Structure formats: C-alpha cells, structure tokens
Amino acid sequence: MSKEMLTLEAFEEASEEVKKVTLETKLIFSDFYSKLTENKVYFKPENMQLTGAYKLRGAYYKISTLTKAEREKGLITASAGNHAQGVAYAAKAYGCKAVIVMPTTTPLIKVNRTKSYGAEVVLYGDVYDDACAKAQELAKEHGYTFIHPFDDLAVATGQGSIAMEIFKELPLVDYILVPIGGGGLATGVSTLAKLLNPNIKVVGVEPEGAACMKASIKEGKVLTLPGVNTIADGTAVKTPGSNIFPYVSKNLDDIITIADEELVLAFLDMVENHKMVVENSGLLSVAALKHLKVKGKKVVSILSGGNMDVITMSSIVQKGLIMRDRIFTVAVQLPDRPGTLSKVADVVAKENGNVIKLEHNQFVAINRQSAVELRITMEAFGPDHKKQILNKLEEEGYKPKIVRTMI
C-alpha cells in the first residue's frame, strides 16, 4: 500500500470517503446518564448506522485504497456479524464480488442479511478462528483479496472517521469511551483523537471474559487468551491485532473491563431511557460510564452496533428485570383446601404485586392435606416493593421462599 495510514491526512481522506455510504450519526445527549454520573454524557449512535454497526466505515475505506485489479479479483473476509455485513455492503457499492466465511453457528438472520447485500456466504467451523483460517485458504486458492476485520491499518483508519465526526460536533470533548474486540475501532479512534488533541482521554472497554487487549498491554506484547466467555459476542476475541497493537498501546489512556451482568442492566437502561436497541458489545461503553472516576466532564460513549437477534434480546430483558427485582418468583406452602389460592392472590393484590404466572404443584409432599406448593411469578417496582410483598406474605403465615429461575 503506497499511502501511509493512521496519519491526519489519511484520516481526513477516510472521513470524506466514508460519507458516500454512511449515515450521519449525530451525537445524542443522555440526560439519564449525565445525571447518574455527574458528567455531560453523549452517545455516538453507530447502532443506527447502515448495516447496524460502524464496521461499514473501515470496510469501505479499505476497499477504496485497493487497486482496480485487487478489487476485480473479488474480496473475502471472515466474520460472524457486523464486519460481514460491512464488507458485503461496501463491496456492493463498488460493484465487486464478496465472499464471506461465517461460522456454522451464526444466526440465520445475520446470514440472510449478509446475503441480501449480494455477498456469497460460506458457512464453516464453529468459531470465528475456524472461519478466518478457511477464508485465508480460499483467498490463496482463488486469488481473492482478504480484508481483515480489525488487524489492518487501512480498516482502522476508516474506523477513525468516527472520532473526526465527534470532534466536529463536540470540539471540547474530554473523554471518549470505545469498545475493544480485536482493537481496530480503538486504534482508529484513539490515534486520531490524540492527533487532534493530545490532552483528550481515550478509554478502551472490554468484556471481562475476553479482555485480550488489557492482558496484552500489561505484558507489553500481543497475547492469546486460552478462551473467551462473554455475551458480548462482537468483542469475543482471543488475540488482538498485532499490526494495530503499537497504536493502541501508545494512545489508549486506560482499559476498563465489564462483567456480563453490567451489560444486561445497561441494555435495560438504554431501552427504557433512550428507546434504543444496542448490542452487548456496543453496551460496553455505556456500562463503563459508571466506572469513570471523574465529574463535570464531556464524555462520549461510542455505541458500536445494534445488531441483536430478538431471542437474545428477550432473554436479556428477562434477566435484567429479575436482576433489578422487578420480576421474581416466590414459592409458598399451602394446605390443599378450596379457597386458599384466592387468599394468597388477595394478599399479593393488596400489595400491588402483578401476578404473571402461577404454578400449583400438588405433589410436593406425600400428605396433600399438609402442603401443596404454589409458585407465583410476579412483577414489582423494585427491591423495596419486592421486600414489602414478601414481608406481607410472611405476616400472613405463608413462609415465602424466593425461587431462582428465569420466567
């Protein structure tokens, strides 16, 4: 590649180039998180981007730097989601062939969406690493041009266009929070941010169960984690990019790690307070707001994507409501006599508990006259209300026991 990447000139070029295919994702001020953290919090909503994620930026800019001959050979990449759709969309815009290798475990909706942009999809392997190896094998076999999801300086330069847009809208930004998977987004954003203002703080955010960049920076070299375990599938990376590692090491001020449970609660907060669906990886920079030890600063959290399937969404909402004590299940022992059920329901109703589900088990004890078990799943306003209902059931002699279960 003749042009040097990750320079101010390259970032300016990339920022103009990506405008051809991207939506303008203007900053959204968060009144909720600003009050919560005592900072001025803004979101960069790349979840609202075409293809539902920022990945289109890096893919399109990378393709723009290729020669005509390289594009005509066809493009290939490996991805389970956002990068796949970014490359497919960008390749379609350039009128060139795209082959995407996706793990066999990829949800059908992501496969179909990638195909809808005109790409050929090859399903191979159980995890990203298998798919990536297959993609590189096919690239050699057919002469395709391989586009790496994150370990590519041109791709990272394209992702940096996000920082350019942030600075144009909010020149005096103090902190930028950026999710980290392999490190491409963090590289582009942190490098350009430091070029534009060396005093700005750029903080990377990783899932606790896949903190490969934090481990690598601590050791001063690229490390491979033995395994990853996180609901933030878009950032579930074992090995950060070696080409981009020097830039991340130099330009990131800190890395915060986030537990899966925090992502669940952040999802609820975003849906209820901002009416936005953000995927788990994009929620990393939202959950990290509570970890910042600063006040009175202008903070931008990059919401990297919003591609979440409905089944995942459903289970996260349920888990979040349970974690917040807004839904809970309680078991009570009752004598097996007519009218007993209505008495319990009456106690719950008087305390404004909303019953969602009842399970009546007559076979919990040999002597049905002595006890049957009633499990009540109900909705409450939160921990205090839940405690109020439990206390009332206790007063009435029902000896309630909390049951740890999903709905």
Output DSSP code: residue 4. P
| Annotation marks residue 161 as catalytic | no
The two counts, helices (H) then strands (E), for the chain are 17, 14
Q: Which of 141, 89, 129 is nearest to 113 (CA)?
A: 89
Q: Which of 191, 284, 311, 307 is nearest to 244 (CA)?
A: 191
| Annotation marks residue 301 as catalytic | no
Q: Which residues of 53-73 are buried (b: 16+ CB within 10 A; e: fewer)?
A: bbbbbbbbbbbbbbeeeebeb
Q: Per the residue annotation, which of 214, 304, 319, 386 is the catalytic one?
A: 304
Measured CA to CA, the distance from residue 260 to residue 41 in angstroms comes to: 22
Locate the DSSP E strands across 85-223.
98-102, 120-123, 145-146, 175-179, 201-207
Q: Per the residue annotation, which of 15, 30, 44, 55 is the catalytic one?
A: 55
Which phi and psi angles does 358 have, rounded to 5°? -125, 135
Tell me, rounded to whole angstroms, the distance of Cα 391 from its chain centroid.
38
Q: Please, what sign has the CA dihedral across residues 207, 62, 94, 74?
A: negative
Catalytic residues: 55, 304
